[in-house]
Amino acid sequence: MKIRLFIAAFLTLLLASCNNADISKKENKTNPNKTNYLEVFCFHGTRQCVTCKNMKAYTLKALQLNFATQLKDSSIIFQIIDVDEEKNAAIAQKFEATGTALMFNKVVNGKDSIFDLSDFAFEKANDESKYIPQFTEIVSSLTANLK
């Protein structure tokens, strides 16, 4: 059993390392007009619990309420990604997402800085009154110097 896990992990790492160049090309197509922006990813599996659904709903609500202009001009890009779909394998590997996760990628001059906010999301996802203001504060601080 351990040998199978080791082989599976090795093959996953091998495939991920082969795909790195391809991933960056795809990301440049997501926002070709900007070199500074924030990507917000809600990763999930096919099956989702209430907490996972809340995380996605509150994230989207906070972005729409407080960052509508940035969403419209692509200073902030929001995506919901199902990690169980084959077409999302490369992006899931880049962010090491195997299930539910909230990840930010702050891109400055074309360079990625990845932030894992999954712990925050799971802690606050069952309380909208705490989630939205704290999420808004985090996004505001990350986007303050993106101009």
Q: 57-67: per-residue pLDDT in tens?
A: 999 999 999 99
Q: Token digits for 140? A: 């505001």
Supply the pLDDT for residue 1.
Answer: 53
Supply the pLDDT for residue 47.
Answer: 85
Supply the pLDDT for residue 25.
Answer: 32
Cβ-contact 45, 99 below 8 angstroms: yes
pTM of the model: 0.73
Domain containing 110 — which CATH number?
Answer: 3.40.30.10
Supply the pLDDT for residue 113.
Answer: 93
Supply the pLDDT for residue 49.
Answer: 85
Read out DSSP for 3-23?
HHHHHHHHHHHHHHHHHHHHH
Question: Which range of residues forms the domain containing residue 85?
Answer: 2-143
Q: Token digits for 139? A: 């996004």
Cβ-contact 83, 98 below 8 angstroms: yes
Residue 40, number of CB atoms within 10 A of its CB:
24
Supply the pLDDT for residue 64.
Answer: 97
Which of 81, 2, 72 is CA-nearest to residue 45? 81
CA pair distance 46, 115, nearest whole angstrom: 23
Residues of the chain where predicted confidence (pLDDT) is lower than 50 = 2, 4-29
CB-neighbour burial class of residue 106 (10 A; exposed 0-12, middle 13-18, buried 19+): middle
Supply the pLDDT for residue 42.
Answer: 93
Total domains in the chain come to: 1
